[in-house]
Structures are given as structure tokens and as C-alpha cells.
């Protein structure tokens, strides 16, 4: 019975991701971000439970990646689509039964955001066939990239700063961020895996440093800290030996 517990937690991740997709499609980006975040929490604990319960399986590995494609790929991609629509009032496709869809270059631009699920799916497929991503990852993990994307609507809602709003709703910033995240998820960059084999400070000094830094940044900058934390994660990983 216990071998099914991690897979059940993985399905909770997928369930949260599916709810996030529905909210994101309806423009409820704040609620979509919350459910992505909850899905990421389940994503962390399914692996933890699988090791603790000695229930690691190939089925669990593939199920985890399928859930992540939705929670950390499709849902953030739709959020980026909606942000790009907000960044350009005339962007996006609107249609009704009585009027046909009018397609132009402008209203196709938001679909750039859907490159995120493509890059996430490719990264997860590579992870499944890789044998050297236990102590480290090659490229930014999809949950870390999802955290970066979901932070954007939360910053808009809760911090409502004119400067930050102007940056986030700048079409070129959003397009650049989309392309950069797709590249970084699949780049041959060695990044630290946030998995604790033990609680030793010596063995986990970089991980503890990141956790402490993340807490400090969150207290100071709130949701605006998330992009800084992702950047710090990349820098610390590159400096870590």
C-alpha cells in the first residue's frame, strides 16, 4: 500500500496544475499562481516520500514528469500568454460564433508564451533518460522556472509598484524572459539539486546558504524576491564545487 503514496501525491501535483490551467485560461492569474505553487510543493514531497518509503519506481519517475509538464510547463505558459495579452491591448485572439477569427501578426505574439511548455516537456524528457542528474541538474529545473513565471502576476497584484508593473508588462521583457527561460531549462549548465541526503552543514553548505538567502530576500522584497532567488540559485550553483 505504501508504494502508492508517492504516486498519489504526484497526482495531487497534476490536479493542482490542471486547476491552475483552468484559472489561467480564465485570466485568474493570481489563483493560477497559487495552485502552481501548491503543485510544486506536492512535486517536492512525492520524491521525498518515495525515498523515505523505499517506493522509488520507473512508473513514479514518468508520472512525476507528466505531472510537471502540466504544473510547471503548460500552466506557466498560459500565464505568460495572458501577460503578453495584457502587455499589448490589441494582442490575443477573440472570436464569437457570429464573427470569424481575424488573425494578424499582433494577435499571434502572445502565443510565444506557449514555448514554455514545449521547453519544459523537452527538459523533462531529457531528465527521464539521464543517469547523471541526482546531485545536480543540467539546466534550470522546471519547478524553478515555474516559480519565476508565477511570481510575475503575484508582484502585479500584491506590490503594485509603477516601476515593477512597467517592467513586467513590457512586451519585450516578457518575450525576452520567455526565450531566456526556454534556453536555460535546456542549457548544459550544472545546477545544484536541492535534495538533502543528510543534515550535515559541510555536505549541504550551498543548499543552506540558498535557503537562508531566500528567506531574507522574501522578508525584504516579498514576491519580487522570487526572480532574485532564482538568479541567486544559478549563481551559487555555478560557484559551488
Q: What's residue 202's pLDDT?
A: 66
The mean pLDDT value for 19-38 works out to 95
Q: How far is CA 231 from the centre of its chain?
A: 14
The pLDDT of residue 106: 58
- Residue 75, pLDDT above cutoff 80: yes
DSSP secondary structure string, 185-201? Answer: HHS--EEE----SS--H
Q: How many residues comprise the chain?
A: 241
Buried b / exposed e along 8-37 (16+ C-beta atoms within 10 A): ebbbbbbbbbbbbbebbeeebbebbbbbbb
pLDDT at 97: 42
Mean pLDDT, rounded, of the chain: 83
Higher-pLDDT residue of 144, 241: 144
The pLDDT value given to residue 133: 58
Confidence check: pLDDT of 1 > 90: no
3-state DSSP call for residue 138? Answer: strand
For 2-92+102-196, CATH number?
A: 1.20.120
Of 154 and 239, more confident: 154
- For residue 137, give the DSSP letter: E
Residue range 55-69: mean pLDDT, rounded: 79
Task: Tell which wins on pLDDT, 1 or 87.
Answer: 87
What is the domain partition of the chain in residue ranges?
Answer: 2-92+102-196
pTM (predicted TM-score): 0.85
What pLDDT is stored for residue 51 in this prediction? 63
Structural contact between residues 203 and 197, judged by C-beta atoms closer than 8 angstroms: yes
Amino acid at each position: 500500500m505504501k508504494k502508492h503514496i508517492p504516486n498519489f501525491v504526484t497526482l495531487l501535483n497534476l490536479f493542482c496544475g490542471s486547476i491552475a490551467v483552468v484559472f489561467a485560461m480564465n485570466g485568474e492569474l493570481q489563483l493560477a499562481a497559487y495552485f502552481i505553487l501548491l503543485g510544486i510543493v506536492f512535486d517536492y514531497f512525492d520524491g521525498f516520500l518515495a525515498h523515505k518509503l523505499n517506493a522509488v519506481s520507473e512508473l513514479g519517475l514518468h508520472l512525476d514528469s507528466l505531472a510537471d509538464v502540466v504544473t510547471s510547463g503548460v500552466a506557466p505558459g498560459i500565464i505568460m500568454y495572458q501577460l503578453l495579452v495584457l502587455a499589448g491591448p490589441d494582442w490575443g485572439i477573440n472570436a464569437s460564433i457570429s464573427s470569424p477569427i481575424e488573425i494578424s501578426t499582433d494577435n499571434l505574439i502572445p502565443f510565444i508564451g506557449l514555448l514554455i511548455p514545449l521547453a519544459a516537456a523537452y527538459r523533462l524528457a531529457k531528465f527521464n533518460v539521464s543517469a547523471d542528474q541526482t546531485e545536480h541538474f543540467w539546466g534550470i529545473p522546471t519547478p524553478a522556472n515555474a516559480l519565476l513565471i508565477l511570481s510575475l502576476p503575484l508582484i502585479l497584484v500584491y506590490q503594485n509598484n509603477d516601476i515593477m508593473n512597467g517592467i513586467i508588462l513590457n512586451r519585450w521583457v516578457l518575450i525576452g524572459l520567455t526565450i531566456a527561460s526556454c534556453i536555460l531549462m535546456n542549457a548544459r549548465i550544472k545546477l545544484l539539486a536541492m535534495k538533502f541526503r543528510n543534515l550535515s552543514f559541510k555536505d549541504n553548505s550551498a543548499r543552506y546558504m540558498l535557503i537562508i538567502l531566500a528567506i531574507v530576500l522574501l522578508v525584504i522584497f516579498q514576491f519580487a524576491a522570487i526572480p532574485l532567488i532564482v538568479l541567486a540559485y544559478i549563481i551559487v550553483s555555478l560557484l559551488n564545487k
